[in-house]
């Protein structure tokens, strides 16, 4: 019976694999920089209530630059892969540089087609980091 369904949309298989490329799944299964640490310069948590995604980022600074950033939490493959890639990408960057990162930069990092229904997942890590930076600046 599975054959019938597969025949329904011949191009479907490749389209499904496009978003869940091997490196996305690799970051999902083996996230980089996962694990809380303290002491840290600041930490910040954001959730996507509609998905149940829940991320907390831990940041350590040296000379105004990201010395170390790690995350803890749970989410879908897109949100976890995105935050995992982000933690690698921002290492050594200044807060101002990170604040300039936009949606396109994050999607470029992911390198997969993300539709409107999954955009919030893709951007949750970046939003958490940027809101954390904003809160950190206010606290200073």
Partner 1 sequence: MMTAVKNASGGMATPWSKARADFPLYTNGRRKIAYLDSAASSLTPEPVLAAMDAYYRECRANVHRGMYAESEDAGARYDGAREKIAAFLRAAADEIVFTRGTTESLNLLAYSLSRKLGPGDEVVISIMEHHANLVPWQQLAKERGFALEFIPLAADLTLDMRAARALITPKTKIVSVTYASNVLGTVVPVRELADLAHAVGAVMIVDAAQAAGHRPIDVRELDCDFLALSGHKMLGPTGIGVLYGKRGRLEALPPFMFGGDMILDVRKEDSLWNEVPYKFEAGTPNIAGAIGLGAAIDYLGKLGLDAVRSHEREITDYALAALAKIPGVTVYGPPSGSDRAGLVSFTIEGVHPHDAATVFDRQGVCVRGGHHCAMPLLRELGLNGTLRASFGVYTAPEDVDALVAAIIKTKAIFNV
68 in helix, strand or coil? Answer: strand
Name the minimum Å distance from CB 111 to partner 1: 16
Convert 65-92 to b/e letters by CB count within 10 Å (16 or more is b): ebeebbbbbebbbbbbbbbbbbbebbee
2 in helix, strand or coil? Answer: helix
Name the minimum Å distance from CB 45 to partner 1: 16
Residue 22 to residue 41: CA distance in whole angstroms? 34
The residue (of 25 and 62) whose beta carbon lies closer to partner 1 is 25
The residue (of 19 and 105) whose beta carbon lies closer to partner 1 is 19
Name the minimum Å distance from CB 2 to partner 1: 4
The residue (of 19 and 61) whose beta carbon lies closer to partner 1 is 19
The residue (of 12 and 62) whose beta carbon lies closer to partner 1 is 12
List interacting residues with partner 1 (CB under 8 A). Answer: 1-2, 4-6, 8-9, 12-13, 15-20, 25, 49-52, 74-78, 115, 117-118, 121
Spatial strand order in the sheet of 42-48: 42-48, 53-62, 65-74
């Amino acid at each position: 019976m599975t054959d019938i369904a597969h025949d329904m949309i011949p191009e479907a298989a490749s389209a499904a694999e496009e978003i869940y490329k091997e490196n996305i799944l690799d970051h999902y299964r083996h996230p980089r920089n996962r694990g809380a640490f303290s002491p840290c310069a600041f930490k910040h948590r954001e959730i996507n209530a509609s998905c149940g995604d829940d991320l907390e980022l831990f940041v350590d600074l040296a000379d105004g630059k990201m010395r170390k950033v790690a995350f803890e939490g749970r989410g879908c493959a897109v949100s976890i892969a995105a935050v995992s890639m982000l933690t690698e990408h921002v290492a050594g960057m200044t807060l101002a540089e990170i604040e300039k990162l936009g949606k396109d930069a994050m999607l470029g990092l992911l390198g997969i087609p993300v539709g409107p229904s999954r955009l919030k997942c893709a951007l949750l890590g970046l939003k958490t980091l940027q809101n954390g930076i904003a809160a950190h600046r206010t606290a200073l």
